[in-house]
Structure 1
């Protein structure tokens, strides 16, 4: 059974979307969920006159819609295909976005693994890296928070909390805890010593969308892909190697 709060928010979102699209009857714009992740944010697809939109429910007590809109504008100004924002209500936590489709890079990469195709992944990675360079060269990066030592440690501590303690159920000695602490300090120092750029923070195959596949003169298999970028609202100013490692050491691709 759907919790009442979710039902209430979904109904409010549907009415808001209908108003933004100037639809007479909200019931004529049903919302179909397309994603829900580890956050409180949920995305729905709406269709009007054969055009699709993504309606986002991002409860303001948990999600920052203003940050999404800000980073989205920075990306688009840099020539990165982030979804266009058609409408936003930060107070309610609602957004109406361009629909970038369902073609994530991840399934394509896994299919290439299964078929032992090494050429298409190479092309996708080249374009993903070109896109990343555009992200790193975005202007107005001073508008973003810094990837501080405190934030780096908070995220690295998840390794201890969820892998060592929760998953492996290890009982760490004081000496082992001290060794982990020293190791993380070394990693923090290395990260903070790097030149800083705009960091997406989640730049991997599940947040990159295949938008176009255009045959070229090189042959039918030489596709040119445009990549859409999503889930960037937590972007910060930080180490220039961070996103590249997320892409090339993708935890979803083995």
Structure 2
């Protein structure tokens, strides 16, 4: 049976502010990318999110970002590669402390937002991130956009790379995600998003925003936890995948 990992960006609340529905979404995914405090989250939220993941049997990953809480990590920042390296190591270490306390192992690292998008095309930034992950632990998996500079650098470092695709995002002809500055960057129709996932997982390609067929590899599918109906969509997608003979698993 073919299998696919479903991941979601979680633990993005902080202080009195609540973002997403982690309690509802956690049982429906197989791996969680937990915010590490730079774009969202705080120590209490990080600990609680790790505990939720452990209870649900969900693999835990660090979700490092540019230091940009006001912009939710979605604004590119002009940083040198060695600064990015330091910020990524720092954030992995912060989450790893809570994971160690919970008695489980950190599973993967997935950059967030603008850092993720920059590393997809900038080889130097991709190299800095990949080396940061490797230097923390060669056993960590790296979640990276399919066919990206980050995926290539992760493989060059000897890391296990999980090629990531997105359920609810449109793609450009070069395989990158359509920028959020465009009004059509996000798929709002759940049926359309499910069809896109099935096509990527079962057939290995997606139709770009401008009509081109883009080949890609799908090891893990990202579901956004801050949408209007994340848990309902996750359940619907799982049902569609399982009906097509695809098992949801991070192994």
Q: TM-score range by the shorter chain?
A: under 0.3
Q: Normalization by structure 1: what TM-score?
A: 0.25
Greater strand share, 1 or 2? 1
Q: Normalization by structure 2: what TM-score?
A: 0.26
Larger RCO: Structure 1 or Structure 2 (Cα < 8 Å, ≥ 6 residues apart)? 2
Larger Rg: 1
